[in-house]
Structure 1
Amino acid sequence: MQSMNPRRRFLMQAGVFSIAGAAPALWQTASAQSESGNLKRIVSIGGAITEIVVRLQGEAGIAGVDTTSNFPASLQKLPNVGYARKLSAEGILSLGPQLVIASHEAGPSVVLRQIEAAGIKVQQLPEVRSFKDLLNTIASIGNLLQRQTQAQQLQQQLTQEWTQVQNLATSPAVKARALFVMAHAPGQVMLAGRDTHAHTIMEYAGLQNAFADVSGYKAINAEALIQSAPDLLIATEQGIKTLGGNSALLALPGMAQTPAARQQRVVVQEAMLMLGFGPRLPQAVLSLRDAAQQQMRKKV
């Protein structure tokens, strides 16, 4: 009997694959076991935050979510309060929440204050920039939902998964200079430097950020793009859709002069999986690493 690929073994243990080849994600099991007994009525703002609430068996208490809370798919049936940075007090209060859990970027701040003035508890959580931050956020949400036991169990499980990811990272490195391209609109294309989620996920996956000399996201500049000489381009599914496809990405100013464009090496992944830094972070790192390795083997 052939030995199992270590990545597939990890994904099976993480609940991404079953032995039969199906994909029963861990949140499905948690949701099936959820009991609404002492759950507060929650509005959850932030995709990663909402995923954690679900994983802590709290989905039955969610009254509404924001536009980034699209996983698991069952959340798409819930009332949506809109974009996290452009919230409406009326929209949230109309759902009758007892608790609003919000990401660090939620706002405007005046709206959050209005919700608090109406007697609703609002808890805005710090930004998650690392795996350690993720564990701390799980503990915070566990305390808010009075699900400390579930939070500890999730922390332990993710720590085990993270250890396996780190062990897999000892395999031969991808050895690629990668460039992350963010596109919010056709005329708003930016490149990710250090101090960004994109930079961190690339590091976790063993990739070198070709734009690490600058901090944050910077507007695309043809000269800087050519000088960065990336071997690989990374973008989100949402960004590629905004641009109009891979061909539009490769046609950006200066892009054609890069090694990545000449070899048409592009990795495209779902935004919340890759950049959300939620409980799927170990899966996101493996997925990016594997996709990068596959692209780097490609010859055009």
Structure 2
Amino acid sequence: MRRHRCRRLFAVAALLLAVTLGASACGAATSIGTPEGDGVELSPVATAPTPVLPAEVRSADGTIVTVTDASRILPLWGNLSEIVFALGLGDRVVGRDVSATFPGTEDLPIVTRAHDVSTESVLSLEPTVVLAQTDTGPPEALDQIRAAGIAVVVLEMPMSIDDITPRIRTIAEALGVPAAGEDLVDRTEREIADARDTIPEGSEPLVAFLYLRGQAGVYLLGGEGSGADSMIAAAGGEDAGRAIGLDRPFTPITSEAMVEAAPDVILLTGSGLESVGGIDELLAMPGIAQTPAAASRRVVTVEDGILYSFGSRTPLALAELIEAIHTDGSAS
């Protein structure tokens, strides 16, 4: 009964995510989200909460940052934007990174080129607080933003699903809404638990995450620390790269490694699949062609921004990933 109740809960998420599941007559992979934005309106846990400031937080760069004004918030990664919107502060966000693709962000000005921060673009928006990650760069850009008197809070780059809770708490504390932060933590942990309740007993498919950029000649197999390995484990699968002993986040794909890994499911981003010409071209590649996943055409794609972003959309993505990798259907 519990499992059926959880499935009804996440059926709504499935519709919102515009996910296509099961067999496809035209040979498309099972897909979660879209590069243009997945249609998910993040439901805030509070309605326009009033920040209580000033607030002091320890930034990941080792400094203590004092935030005195949260009227104009600028998150420099999509997952940071997700959390700010989910806290109910979306109306205070003045700009975005290219990876913020969910509804409510489409009209916000982009302040990054690829993921490199444009200092001029940031300063032109007159933010009162900027949220960044340890991999936000270039470092000189953040230094210039600080020099302009703007509070810059840097968070550690998330590496696993377990990093979501501390990120929510840090962001909520920095923005002066710790109570909303605890509400969001409770909801996120509940939704993740509900999603995991739908994992079929005894099912543990081997899932290989491939990072592909065909135009650039980049063909990598994920292993320990890729970020995708955390999502695969949370979804009740076994990461194929880790299973064959890959102790680095990414390793160049070889035919021998793919044959040894023998994944039941191939997981990759939608842009990665597109970069190699689609599912038929992917499954014809040496090594990949010899896998059980190729034989059954079990390929799952996830929107780039939600596979390993570890933000407020992660529970919805996890629910759909669970459904996808434990489904016997295949792309035809």
Q: Partner of 1:11 in structure 2? A: 10
Residue 71 of structure 2 aligns to a residue whose secondary structure is: coil
Describe the superposition over 1:145-180 as per-residue Cα deviations: whole angstroms up to 9, x where unpaired: 1111111111111122233234334x3233321111
Residue 234 of structure 1 aligns to a residue whose secondary structure is: strand
Match of 2:82 among 51, 66, 69: 51
2:44–2:85 CA contact under 8 A, matched in 1? no
2:161–2:230 CA contact under 8 A, matched in 1? no
Residue 75 of structure 1 aligns to a residue whose secondary structure is: coil
1:178–1:210 CA contact under 8 A, matched in 2? yes
Q: Is 1:178–2:193 an aligned residue pair?
A: no
- Greater helix fraction, Structure 1 or Structure 2: 1
1:65–1:79 CA contact under 8 A, matched in 2? yes
1:267–1:291 CA contact under 8 A, matched in 2? yes
* Distance in 1, Cα, partners of 2:276 & 2:75: 29
Match of 1:269 among 283, 290, 302: 302
1:46–1:84 CA contact under 8 A, matched in 2? no
Amino acid at match of 2:85: V
Q: CA RMSD in A?
A: 2.8
Q: Partner of 2:108 in structure 1? A: 78
Match of 1:140 among 155, 162, 170: 170
Describe the superposition over 1:166-219 as per-residue Cα deviations: whole angstroms up to 9, x where unpaired: 4334x3233321111112343112110011211111111111111111121112
* Distance in 2, Cα, partners of 1:15 & 1:36: 29
Q: Partner of 1:226 in structure 2? A: 259
Runs of 4+ in 1 over 4 A off after TM superposition: 14-18, 23-26, 28-31, 35-38, 297-300
Residue 101 of structure 2 aligns to a residue whose secondary structure is: coil
Q: Partner of 2:281 in structure 1? A: 248
1:16–1:25 CA contact under 8 A, matched in 2? no
Q: Partner of 1:115 in structure 2? A: 145
* Distance in 2, Cα, partners of 1:116 & 1:242: 38
Q: Partner of 1:282 in structure 2? A: 315
State the 1:24 CA deviation. Answer: 9.4
Q: Partner of 2:122 in structure 1? A: 92
1:179–1:210 CA contact under 8 A, matched in 2? yes
Residue 283 of structure 1 aligns to a residue whose secondary structure is: helix
Residue 241 of structure 1 aligns to a residue whose secondary structure is: helix
Residues 289 and 91 of structure 1: is their aligned pair in 2 closer, same or farther, counting only changes over 3 Å?
same
Q: Is 1:34–2:48 an aligned residue pair?
A: yes
* Distance in 2, Cα, partners of 1:76 & 1:62: 12
Q: Partner of 1:103 in structure 2? A: 133
* Distance in 1, Cα, partners of 2:149 & 2:142: 11
Residues 216 and 230 of structure 1: is their aligned pair in 2 closer, same or farther, counting only changes over 3 Å?
same
Residues 34 and 17 of structure 1: is their aligned pair in 2 closer, same or farther, counting only changes over 3 Å?
farther
Residue 180 of structure 2 aligns to a residue whose secondary structure is: helix
After TM superposition, the structure 1 stretch with the greater mean CA deviation from structure 2, 222-231 or 59-68, is 222-231
- Return 5+ residue gaps in structure 1 as ranges: none
* Distance in 2, Cα, partners of 1:209 & 1:256: 19
Describe the superposition over 1:72-100 as per-residue Cα deviations: whole angstroms up to 9, x where unpaired: x2201100012464212112111111111
Amino acid at match of 2:209: F
- Identity over the aligned pairs, expressed in percent? 28
Amino acid at match of 1:76: E
If the length of structure 2 is used for normalisation, what is the TM-score? 0.79
* Distance in 2, Cα, partners of 1:196 & 1:79: 30
* Distance in 2, Cα, partners of 1:96 & 1:36: 20
Residues 17 and 229 of structure 1: is their aligned pair in 2 closer, same or farther, counting only changes over 3 Å?
closer
After TM superposition, the structure 1 stretch with the greater mean CA deviation from structure 2, 104-113 or 266-275, is 266-275
* Distance in 2, Cα, partners of 1:244 & 1:49: 32
Residues 211 and 92 of structure 1: is their aligned pair in 2 closer, same or farther, counting only changes over 3 Å?
same
Amino acid at match of 1:147: V
Residue 241 of structure 2 aligns to a residue whose secondary structure is: coil
Q: Is 1:192–2:217 an aligned residue pair?
A: no
Residue 173 of structure 1 aligns to a residue whose secondary structure is: coil
* Distance in 2, Cα, partners of 1:3 & 1:121: 45
- Return 5+ residue gaps in structure 2 as ranges: 17-37, 52-68
After TM superposition, the structure 1 stretch with the greater mean CA deviation from structure 2, 111-120 or 81-90, is 81-90
